[in-house]
Amino acid sequence: MLRDWSDVYSIGIAEIDEQHRGFFEAAHRLYEDILDREGRNAVVEAITFMRDYANRHFETEEAFMREHDYPGLKDHLRQHAAFFRRLDELENDLMIFGPSQDLADRALDITQDWLIDHIADEDMLYSLHVKTGDARVTI
């Protein structure tokens, strides 16, 4: 199910929240482009857009965590790497089987739904670390 961005997903850091909102949009674009079935090029473009967006976003987060000596950085990096692995697998399957409702649902699962869980389980932790342990950040 497509979900709109909502403030319940906010981690209280404006730049990251804004990027998470864009991540939702990239996830929705991917889902819709798979369903539109306008050929592989459109799907490859949407996946490439999603991958580039995630790359830029994760770089922002990772720099932020390093800057604040976040102790959970290593685990967090693993989560980001796993995201790209799942996206690669999806792209492979789309190339082999072509677009379908099943693959559109899986795309939403590994992007939008993954992000919702990732925000709650992982991003909140570094936000909390920064808020409670580092007064240099204005939230």
Interface residues with Fe ion (CB under 5 A)?
A: 61, 123
Question: Three-state DSSP class for 135?
Answer: coil
Report the residue number, 21 or 37, with the smaller CB distance to Fe ion: 21
105: burial class by Cβ within 10 Å (0-12, 13-18, 19+)? middle
Report the residue number, 38 or 117, with the smaller CB distance to Fe ion: 117
Can you give the three-state secondary structure of 37-79, one letter per residue?
CCCHHHHHHHHHHHHHHHHHHHHHHHHHHHHCCCCCHHHHHHH
Report the residue number, 17 or 61, with the smaller CB distance to Fe ion: 61
Measured from the CB of residue 24, what is the shortest distance to Fe ion in angstroms? Answer: 14
In this structure, what token pair is assigned to residue 61? Answer: 């987060």
